[in-house]
Structure 1
Amino acid sequence: MSDVKAIIGLGNPGTEYDATRHNAGAWVVEALARDSLTPLRAERKFLGQYAKVRYAGHDVHLLVPSTYMNRSGKAVAALCQFFKLTPDELLIAHDELDIAPGTARYKHGGGHGGHNGLRDTVSALGNDKSFHRLRIGIGHPGSAKQVVNYVLGRPGKAERAAIDAAIDECLRTLPDVLDGNWAGAMNRLHSFNA
């Protein structure tokens, strides 16, 4: 298993989407950039907000695509091509309906699970699904008919606090991830519940 060299946070661009559940992945990368005291800056060649940070002794590329969620793969592929990164060197943070707010999970590989950002990323990477995922729980509205409005809606105050607490815990596990200690990172993160 390769070392993680880039962390990409999926979301939709624009102020109307910044605080929506679908941007939970972007919130992770934004929090990591703040924690690293390195601002994300618009980078046209990567179609997004980019920074290179030194975190827990590792150089890490951070990216929040400025494309809409269903076109995230273009930005991911551009970053990979420029830095010659392989999919298994990526950690992609995204919102996850099947996990409750206040929890998060790491996952290696797998399908897109209906997530349009992951679907486009898999396609843009030549159907290579070997990238790592950081699944940020946002909960499910209970009905498939409500999913679009739900993910594009803003969480309530308590729900957002729980999501933020899970993101904080994610940041505490990243040193293990970057050191290749996936078991340690998973044990800690998967037992956390805000």
Structure 2
Amino acid sequence: MNLPNKLTISRILLTFVYMFFLFNKGILSKHIALFIFLIASLTDLYDGRIARKRKLITNFGRIMDPIADKILILASFLAFVELKIIPAWMVVIVILRELIITGLRLFAASRSIVLEAQKEGKHKTVSQFIAVILILVYLILKDTLARFRIWNLHWERACSLIIFLIILIVIGLTLYSGISFLWKNRRIIA
């Protein structure tokens, strides 16, 4: 197994460690969760770069890289629903998009066709990673300010509104990238 594929697999494994710390109480656990998420995000950045630079692109990598992203992001979003940070309906939209696109990718792969990631999908993924990082920073900020009794209802409402708007933007990009992907690959569907 080559280095880019090992990085992809490590992203999946890091997701479990990240989730463990995300659900642990305490500000240190939230810091560790953020750190692990950042490392996992960097594996996404570097696996593709290394594969292209060293000519190590494989069908495994083409399929598993986006799946590893989905595992990390969807685990994060589902955790944020459980933590009552974002509404479930928002995550359902993201999950449905990912299931449809992944289903199309797998269908194409069964016909020996590899559907590579597109620019819109990469923008969607970046927006999702940024949203998760911002929410993790919010959790750390909230715990820190609450410890000093500075956190209050006004901060809570303002942050909740900002997070809601950020996730709305993510959903918009998610839907746009999904529709664009389906349109560009409509010959596979037909």
User: What TM-score do you get using the length of structure 2 for normalisation?
Assistant: 0.31
Q: Which has the larger radius of gyration?
A: 2
Relative to its length, the structure with more strand (as a share) is 1
Relative to its length, the structure with more helix (as a share) is 2
